[in-house]
Amino acid sequence: MTKPWTVLFAPSGAGKTTILRLIAGLDRLEKGKIVSRAESEGELVLADTDGRVHVPAHRRSMPMVAQRPALFPHRTVLGNVLYAGTERQAAGRDMQLDALLELCRVGHLRNRYPSQISGGESQRVALARALWAPARALLLDEPFSGLDVGLRDALIPEVKEYLAARRVPVLQVTHDVGEVFAVGAEVIRLEDGRVAAQGPPEIVLERERTRLLRQLGG
């Protein structure tokens, strides 16, 4: 990724989640090569079928927020978030952790268990856990789909600022035009498994935006 925040846009079923899982190391690549390039760490080959390379997910430092949050049911909200951190971060009273929980609007839920919170709250806890983890890059799979528009639009700029300060690049996938414009990031539009266009959303998704505005106007 060459941009701080990049969005892969395509219809449902186009393989967006598969791409994220391959990058995260959760699935194995059948043919090809995946390379991560970071300013501070240089080039890292994550997968290379010709060279029989497959770096396991836990060594890639690329936390992924899935569409359905996979929280530990036996851990509290705080315990779920802390699980992703290092020993250096392990203090539950750490001011940075408190600020992160508030950023994700889950500070008041810190002592509750996943069974005691809603789907949207679970999604924000999963996001907080990923933000707390040491990361070369952050992978987001429809991370704001369970949130109402007002909360989504308030949360996105704060998350962008948080990650920009830590120089963590983001690859997000979505089929939601409104979400793409709310993020305001570089967009890669996929069609039939190939890159059809890349650039700012106003240009790449002009057709989809016009259609959406007509629907809203109608």
pLDDT digits (tens, 9 = 90+) for 102-159: 999 999 999 999 999 999 999 999 999 999 998 999 999 998 887 888 999 999 999 9
Candidates 118, 106, 119; CA nearest to 80 is 106
Amino acid at residue number 150: G
Percent of the chain at pLDDT > 90 equals 61
* pLDDT tens per residue, range 3-22: 689 999 988 888 899 999 99
The pair of structure tokens assigned to 2 is 């060459």
Reported as a single tens digit per residue, the pLDDT across 176-192 is 888 898 898 999 999 88
Residue 146 main-chain phi, psi, to 5 deg: -95, 5
pTM of the model: 0.87
Task: Render pLDDT for 24-39 as a digit per residue (tens, 0 to 9).
Answer: 999 999 999 999 876 6
pLDDT band at 218 (very low <50, low <70, confident <90, very high): low
Residue 88 — pLDDT band, cuts 50, 70, 90?
Answer: very low
Which CATH architecture fits 1-62+137-218? 3-Layer(aba) Sandwich (3.40)
Q: What pLDDT shows up at residue 92?
A: 45
Round to whole Å and give the CA distance between 30 and 49. 7
Q: What is the mean pLDDT of the chain?
A: 88
**Annotated domain spans of the chain:** 1-62+137-218, 72-134
Amino acid identity of residue 160, one-letter, is: K
